[in-house]
Amino acid sequence: MEVTINQQKRELPNHVTTIEQLREHFGLQNTVVMIEHNGAALSVDEQNDTHITAGDQIEMVRFVGGG
Protein backbone atom coordinates (compact mmCIF):
# COMPACT_ATOMS: atom_id res chain seq x y z
CA MET A 1 0.00 0.00 0.00
CA GLU A 2 1.02 3.59 -0.45
CA VAL A 3 1.62 5.82 2.54
CA THR A 4 3.37 9.12 3.03
CA ILE A 5 6.43 8.95 5.26
CA ASN A 6 8.36 12.11 6.07
CA GLN A 7 6.37 13.92 3.41
CA GLN A 8 7.38 11.42 0.72
CA LYS A 9 5.03 8.89 -0.85
CA ARG A 10 6.30 5.35 -0.42
CA GLU A 11 5.01 2.00 -1.52
CA LEU A 12 5.16 -0.54 1.30
CA PRO A 13 5.31 -4.32 0.83
CA ASN A 14 2.01 -6.12 1.51
CA HIS A 15 3.13 -7.68 4.78
CA VAL A 16 3.80 -4.31 6.41
CA THR A 17 0.53 -3.42 8.13
CA THR A 18 1.61 -2.18 11.57
CA ILE A 19 4.01 0.50 12.76
CA GLU A 20 6.12 -2.21 14.36
CA GLN A 21 6.47 -3.94 10.98
CA LEU A 22 7.22 -0.59 9.38
CA ARG A 23 10.15 -0.12 11.71
CA GLU A 24 11.41 -3.63 10.96
CA HIS A 25 11.06 -2.94 7.25
CA PHE A 26 13.61 -0.14 7.62
CA GLY A 27 15.77 -2.01 10.12
CA LEU A 28 14.81 0.41 12.89
CA GLN A 29 13.31 -2.02 15.35
CA ASN A 30 16.13 -1.83 17.89
CA THR A 31 16.71 1.89 17.98
CA VAL A 32 14.84 4.90 19.37
CA VAL A 33 12.39 6.04 16.70
CA MET A 34 9.68 8.55 17.31
CA ILE A 35 6.58 8.10 15.23
CA GLU A 36 3.80 10.50 14.38
CA HIS A 37 0.83 8.76 12.78
CA ASN A 38 -1.82 10.94 11.17
CA GLY A 39 -0.82 13.80 13.44
CA ALA A 40 -0.56 11.84 16.67
CA ALA A 41 2.75 11.11 18.41
CA LEU A 42 2.72 7.41 19.36
CA SER A 43 4.22 6.01 22.53
CA VAL A 44 6.31 2.86 22.12
CA ASP A 45 3.37 0.69 23.24
CA GLU A 46 1.01 2.49 20.88
CA GLN A 47 3.46 1.94 18.03
CA ASN A 48 3.26 -1.80 18.53
CA ASP A 49 -0.56 -1.74 18.41
CA THR A 50 -1.10 0.71 15.59
CA HIS A 51 -2.18 -0.46 12.15
CA ILE A 52 -1.26 1.33 8.96
CA THR A 53 -3.74 1.97 6.17
CA ALA A 54 -3.26 3.36 2.67
CA GLY A 55 -2.91 7.13 2.61
CA ASP A 56 -1.61 7.39 6.19
CA GLN A 57 0.66 10.33 6.98
CA ILE A 58 3.60 9.12 9.02
CA GLU A 59 6.64 10.92 10.40
CA MET A 60 9.63 8.85 11.48
CA VAL A 61 11.96 10.95 13.61
CA ARG A 62 15.09 10.45 15.65
CA PHE A 63 17.24 12.43 18.05
CA VAL A 64 20.23 14.11 16.43
CA GLY A 65 23.03 16.29 17.71
CA GLY A 66 21.95 19.73 18.79
CA GLY A 67 22.39 22.41 21.46
Of 54 and 64, which has the nearer Cβ to another protein?
64
What DSSP string describes 6-42?
TTEEEEPPTT--BHHHHHHHTT-TTS--EEEETTEEE
Residues in contact with another protein, shown as a per-residue x/- string from 27 to 66 under the rule CB under 8 A: xx--xxxxxx----xxxx-x------------xxxxxxxx
Nearest alpha-carbon partner for 60 in 15, 1, 10, 49: 10
Of 24 and 36, which has the nearer Cβ to another protein?
36
Question: Where along the sequence are the contacts to another protein (CB under 8 A)?
Answer: 5-7, 10, 26-28, 31-36, 41-44, 46, 59-67
